Amino acid sequence: MEHIYDMLIIGGGPGGYTAALYGARAGMDVMILEKAMPGGQMIQSHQIDNYPGFEEGIDGFTLAEKMRAGAERFGVRTELTEVLGVNLTGEIKSAETDSGTFYGRTVVIAAGANPRKLGLPGEDRFLSRGIHYCASCDGMFYRGKTVMVIGGGNTAVSDALLLSRVAERVILVHRRDSLRAEKIVQNGLFAAENVEIRWDSVPVELQENADGRLTGAVLKNVKTGEETPVDADGIFVSIGRIPASEMFRDQLDLDDSGYIIADESTRTNLPGVYAVGDIRTKAVRQIVTAAADGAVAVHYAEEYLA
Ligand code: NAP
């Protein structure tokens, strides 16, 4: 007979490891299935200053390692393996992976979301060194500098506003002639003196100097076709996120953007299945809110198992 865990956790980011810590401390037998490296999106951040308890801040890789070690201290196991499919119905749920099938009485889905990329050559090479996907994480590196923000939604506009308080100059680049962001979010933007907006524009090429440092982007006006090089020390890409939820689509309720529908209780439409962190419907996607979800999921999982 295969081993049946009390809790299978898919994804080893802050939501997953907090659920693991709380689950193990509640006496559960917990297994984390993580595709690549514990930490999720946060391992891309060189400096995290908005997770409490680290007065000098901490880099994402170290924080991830601390979360893993803290959970493993209580007996949590991590299997580095890719989940290929799941069966979330019934009392015993299962996850097919490239190293076999794992069984659990409860499943916590903590697979996160990935930023939508521009898809330009060189984008990955400049990751965290000129190209960023999180202004509240990395904006502080651009004090007194010029930054570009790509996008016209709530995130892009909030990011531009946040960066306007740090950077000397902010250039918001949007592909249409009106913003998608809510009016109330837009108002602050129009009041900021150091923000300029390039309407009807998209970046079509990243530019670098002889040392390989990002120096800006060529912007194309989608109406006129005109291309203009624009200098910037950093580019923040805020064009939406793609939740890693495809594999759950047949079994769980998702919203129009692909997020697993779950409220603050983290419960999904299936009993014993919880969605935590960036993969679930929520307003604030941060390390600290993912961690909070992990603790909440265990509360409801304990209730369910009892
Ligand atoms: P979003 O609302 O989907 O906006 C994405 C923006 O990026 C849109 O302006 C879109 O342009 C643009 N875009 C998409 N693909 C692009 C591409 N390939 N090239 C250039 N531009 C591209 O995403 P979001 O701003 O991240 O917000 C996600 C959700 O979180 C939304 O529901 C939002 O309301 C919510 N949110 C709320 C707040 C708040 O303060 N209330 C803050 C942040 C996020 P188009 O407009 O032309 O489609």
Ligand 1 pocket test, pick from 41, 172, 173, 239 with the greatest ligand atom count within 8 Å of Cβ, gives 239
- Residue matched to tokens 């709380």: 22
**Tokens read off for 241:** 């996120």
d(CA 158, CA 142): 16
Expressed in angstroms and rounded, the spacing between residue 209 Cα and the centre of ligand 1 is 30
Which has the closest alpha carbon to 120: 198, 202, 213, 204?
204
Expressed in angstroms and rounded, the spacing between residue 154 Cα and the centre of ligand 1 is: 6
142 backbone dihedrals φ, ψ, rounded to 5°: -110, 30
- In angstroms, the first-to-last Cα distance of the chain is 23
Test site for ligand 1: of 41, 148, 180, 281, most ligand atoms within 8 A of the Cβ:
180
Identify the segments of the chain with pLDDT beneath 70: 1, 44
Report field, pTM of the whole predicted structure over 0.85? no
What lines the ligand 1 site, CB under 6 Å? 116, 150-156, 158, 175-176, 180, 185, 202, 238-240
Q: What is the pLDDT of residue 302?
A: 98
**At which residue do the structure tokens 């969605």 appear?**
275
**Tokens 């500098």 correspond to what residue?**
145
Residue 86 has what pLDDT?
98
Nearest to 189 by CA among 164, 210, 215: 164
Q: What pLDDT does residue 136 have? A: 83
Whole-number Å distance, alpha carbon 62 to ligand 1 midpoint, is 30
pLDDT at 43: 81
CB 168, CB 195: distance < 8 Å: no
Overall residue count recorded for the chain in this entry: 306
Nearest residue to 17 (alpha-carbon basis) of 77, 62, 67, 54: 67
Position in ligand 1 atom list of the atom nearest CA 151: 7
Domains, the chain, with CATH or none: 4-114+241-305 (3.50.50.60), 117-237 (3.50.50.60)
pLDDT tens per residue across span 9-63: 999 999 999 999 999 999 999 999 999 889 988 886 777 888 999 999 998 899 9
Residue 268 CA to ligand 1 centre (angstroms): 25
Spatial distance between the Cα atoms of 103 and 8, rounded to a whole number of angstroms: 7
What's the rounded Cα separation, in Å, for the pair 24 and 258?
30
Relative to beta strand 227-231, strand 234-237 is: unpaired
Q: Which of 131, 114, 117, 128 is nearest to 217 (CA)?
A: 131
Residues near 119 by beta carbon (within 8 Å), at least 6 away in sequence: none
Catalytic positions, written as ranges: 134, 137-138
pLDDT score, position 1? 67
Distance of CA 268 to the CA centre of its chain: 20
Please give the Cα distance from 79 to 100 (Å, whole number).
11
Q: Whose CA is nearest to atom 39 of ligand 1?
A: 154
Per-residue tokens: 293: 């979800």
